[in-house]
Amino acid sequence: MLQVEGLHAGYGDSIVVHDVSLRIEAGEAVAIIGSNGAGKTTLLRAICGLLPVVSGHVTYDGNTLERIPPHRIARLGMAYVPAERRLFPAMSVTENLELGAYPKRPDSRLSALVFELFPRLADRRTQHAGTLSGGEQQMLAVGRALMSEPKLLLLDEPTTGLAPMLAEEAYASLKRLRGSGTTVLVAEQQVPLALDLADRGYVIEDGRIQLEGTADDLRDNPDVRQAYLGLSDQGAG
């Protein structure tokens, strides 16, 4: 569904992401894990057109994406939920969801699905997005993305700014979403949560892919355990 080959991307003259290749098949959930500043956000922003691709190729669903502006990539069925959420603060929950369906009329079946997934949003329909709590804003950002009935959902650090309990709650909803067959690519530094959700994962450091494998492989990998799971290899369970 999505194939990235030899991607270089960055800001102006400084290249942040070097020679990254990855692929996602339809129905998969894939995690990109790495510490803060490893290049996860740059990679996702380049994929969805918000940053220029310096070199390399991004192919999605039969389309070459490198030169396509972000709004057209969104209309191809790729929905990106950035860590900053990018909601419309002075518009209601309902209006934010409506705009997620743009240019189409919002589908009541989809909004019902969103409210089922996030019942808290249903109670806050008329409230402005800017007045929601961090957790609710995250729900709304995912909900807005779902309103376009995306084929591929890209999530950048969905746990940003959330307390541990809310972070777990967020991932529980993502798991339910996965159950309905949505293809998901999630960038995350909270590695246990991400690997719990994903089938496969890539480890990115200093803008390069260092490691890839199934979620189980990565969880058992000594380097991953030490660097991201806070465990040494001896005697830890």
Partner 1 sequence: MAVIFDGIAYGLQLGLLAVGLTLIYGLGGVLNLAHGQFAVVTAIAATVLVDVGLPMPLAILAAIALAGMLALAFDASLMRPVYRLRGEARVLLSLLLTIGAAFVIDGLLIYYYPFAALNVDISGSAVNVLGVAMRRGSLAASLLAVLALGTLILFLRYTRRGKAVRSVIQDEEGAQLCGINPARVRTAVFVLSGVLAGVAAVAEGLTSSLGATDGLDLTILALIVTVVGGLGSVAGALVAGLLLGIVYTLSSFYIGAYVTFIILLLAAMLTILVRPSGLMGKGA
What is the binding site for partner 1 (CB under 8 A)?
Answer: 48, 50, 69-72, 74-75, 79-82, 85-91, 95, 98-100, 102-103, 105, 144-145, 148
Measured from the CB of residue 97, what is the shortest distance to partner 1 in angstroms? 10
- Please state, as a whole number, how many other Cβ atoms lie within 10 Å of the Cβ of residue 181: 8
**What Å distances lie between residue 150 and 59, 80, 144, 188, 224, CA to CA?**
16, 9, 10, 20, 31
Measured from the CB of residue 102, what is the shortest distance to partner 1 in angstroms? 5
Measured from the CB of residue 212, what is the shortest distance to partner 1 in angstroms? 27
Nearer to partner 1, 71 or 230 (CB): 71
Nearer to partner 1, 95 or 168 (CB): 95
**Cα–Cα distance, 67 to 188 (Å, whole number):** 27
Radius of gyration of the chain from its Cα atoms, rounded to whole angstroms: 18
Contact 192, 236 (CB under 8 A): no
Measured from the CB of residue 189, what is the shortest distance to partner 1 in angstroms? 22
Element (H, E) at 109: helix 108-117
Measured from the CB of residue 95, what is the shortest distance to partner 1 in angstroms? 6
Three-point CA angle 205, 209, 215, nearest 5°: 100
Nearer to partner 1, 146 or 162 (CB): 146
Nearer to partner 1, 102 or 115 (CB): 102
Nearer to partner 1, 103 or 179 (CB): 103
